[in-house]
């Protein structure tokens, strides 16, 4: 798939909804106005030949991960399911984020979408993206009219 989904919306409304949601979550962490989303921590660095993305997503099942790539951006999205608390449980601290997540990273240079690898180990997703060689010159044959 060669596209990245772009969300548009009124920023003021989303900030207001988030503030109310955070207020009620401090009373009861399981309270949600809408489906919760979170953003996993990521590192992106590059070598001479590739760009490497490291995404911290402990507790996410491999089946719940999706990776979409085009030559200019990477979209990592999925879902981390929460543990069901025992009956009559009272939360004293609730910092672990559950639910759906999505991150879109725009790449500093074009990449070769045919040379991508991804591995998920010990709660980290590592994506390796080969850079497209930009400095190679190519000869173009000039045709004549007539």
Q: Whole domain around residue 45: which residue ranges?
A: 35-83+94-131
Q: Judge whether 139 lies within some domain.
A: no
- The string of pLDDT tens digits covering residues 52-91 is 999 999 999 999 999 999 988 999 999 999 877 778 888 8
Q: Judge whether 88 lies within some domain.
A: no
Q: Judge whether 117 lies within some domain.
A: yes
Q: Judge whether 46 lies within some domain.
A: yes
Q: Judge whether 27 lies within some domain.
A: no
* CATH code (residue 78): 2.60.40.790
Q: Judge whether 71 lies within some domain.
A: yes
**Residue 134: C-alpha distances to residues 44, 45, 110, 113, 146 (Å):** 20, 18, 9, 15, 35
- The string of pLDDT tens digits covering residues 112-146 is 998 999 999 999 999 999 998 876 667 788 888 86
Structurally, the chain folds into a number of domains equal to 1
Q: Judge whether 63 lies within some domain.
A: yes
The residue written with tokens 């672990």 in the block is 96
**What is the DSSP secondary structure assignment for residue 109, as one 8-state letter?**
S
């Amino acid at each position: 798939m060669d596209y990245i989904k772009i969300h548009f919306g009124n920023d003021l409304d989303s900030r207001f909804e988030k503030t109310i949601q955070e207020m009620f979550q401090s009373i009861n962490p399981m309270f949600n106005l809408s489906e919760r989303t979170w953003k996993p921590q990521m590192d992106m660095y590059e070598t001479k030949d590739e760009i490497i993305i490291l995404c911290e997503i402990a507790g996410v099942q491999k089946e719940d991960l999706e990776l979409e790539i085009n030559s200019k951006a990477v979209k990592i999205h999925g879902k981390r399911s929460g543990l069901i608390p025992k009956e009559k449980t009272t939360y004293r601290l609730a910092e672990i984020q559950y639910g759906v997540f999505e991150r879109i990273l725009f790449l500093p240079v074009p990449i070769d979408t045919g040379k991508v690898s991804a591995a998920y180990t010990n709660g980290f997703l590592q994506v390796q993206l080969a850079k497209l060689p930009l400095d190679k010159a190519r000869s173009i044959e000039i045709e004549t009219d007539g």
